[in-house]
């Protein structure tokens, strides 16, 4: 498995759970935050991530199985998903890049149709398993009961992620977007909202 990283907030480390390959995602405290605020942010994000992974799975989107949750430590032990990030796979181009892009569009449509938004949709937060299935990770900023605004912002993030991480591969981004609009529950409302959001970026 590649790409273990230390992001801005969380630390990912290899672990084992009842003999199964696992990863531990923990949120160490940040000294620059007031202690009470810090522990609240860490625990809210940790619990939110677990809840969102469960809700996403119910909406038909694969996410890692959670093996253990430690609320006081703000850490999650979850299934280690084998494979590579969609970012790596798409960067290699070809048929597989297009296939993965379409799968990302479909998965995002399923999330949004269930009223869920991911909060940090990028191709780094998608793992392509060796069997070809995709698995979404990093739901700590996600939310349920998403409004069309939340959904539009989520989709705009994804669109931008494709444009910046996969520059020069416009066909891949277009394949993702058309799969999305084919699958989402209210494509007209989302299309309109996305247009508004793109314009906002242009004039502010």
- Listed in sequence order, the residues at least 6 apart from 17 whose beta carbon sits closer than 8 Å to its beta carbon are 67, 68, 77
Question: Shortest distance, CB of residue 64 to Mg ion, whole angstroms?
Answer: 12
Minimum CB–partner distance for residue 122 and Mg ion (Å):
7
Residues from 11 through 50 that contact ligand ATP (CB under 6 A): 12, 23, 25
Q: Are strands 134-136 and 126-128 parallel, antiparallel or unpaired?
A: antiparallel
Give the E-state strand segments of 56-157 in sequence order. Answer: 66-70, 75-79, 84-85, 126-128, 134-136
Give the Cβ contact number of residue 142 at 10 Å.
25
23 binds, among Mg ion, ligand ATP, none (CB under 5 to 8 A by kind): ligand ATP
Q: Which does 77 bind (CB under 5 to 8 A by kind): ligand ATP, Mg ion, none?
A: none
Interface with Mg ion in residues 87-146 (CB under 5 A): 125, 138
d(CA 99, CA 151): 23
Q: Which residues bind ligand ATP (CB under 6 A)?
A: 1, 3-5, 7-10, 12, 23, 25, 64, 78-81, 85, 120, 124-125, 127, 137-138, 140
């Amino acid at each position: 498995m590649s790409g273990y990283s230390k992001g801005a907030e969380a630390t990912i480390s290899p672990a084992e759970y009842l003999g199964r390959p696992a990863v531990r995602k923990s949120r160490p405290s940040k000294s620059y935050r007031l202690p009470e605020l810090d522990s609240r942010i860490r625990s809210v994000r940790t619990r939110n991530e677990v809840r969102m992974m469960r809700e996403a799975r119910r909406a038909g989107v694969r996410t890692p199985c959670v093996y253990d949750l430690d609320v006081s430590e703000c850490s999650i032990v979850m299934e280690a998903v084998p494979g590579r990030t969609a970012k790596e796979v798409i960067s290699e181009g070809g048929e597989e890049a297009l296939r993965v892009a379409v799968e990302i569009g479909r998965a995002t449509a399923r999330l949004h149709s269930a009223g869920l938004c991911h909060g940090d949709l990028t191709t780094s937060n998608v793992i392509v398993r060796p069997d070809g299935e995709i698995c979404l990770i990093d739901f700590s900023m996600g939310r349920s009961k998403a409004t069309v605004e939340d959904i539009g912002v989520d989709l705009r993030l994804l669109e931008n992620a494709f444009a910046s991480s996969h520059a020069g591969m416009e066909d891949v981004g277009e394949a993702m977007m058309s799969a999305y609009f084919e699958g989402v529950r209210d494509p007209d409302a989302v299309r309109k909202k996305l247009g508004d959001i793109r314009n906002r970026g242009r004039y502010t």
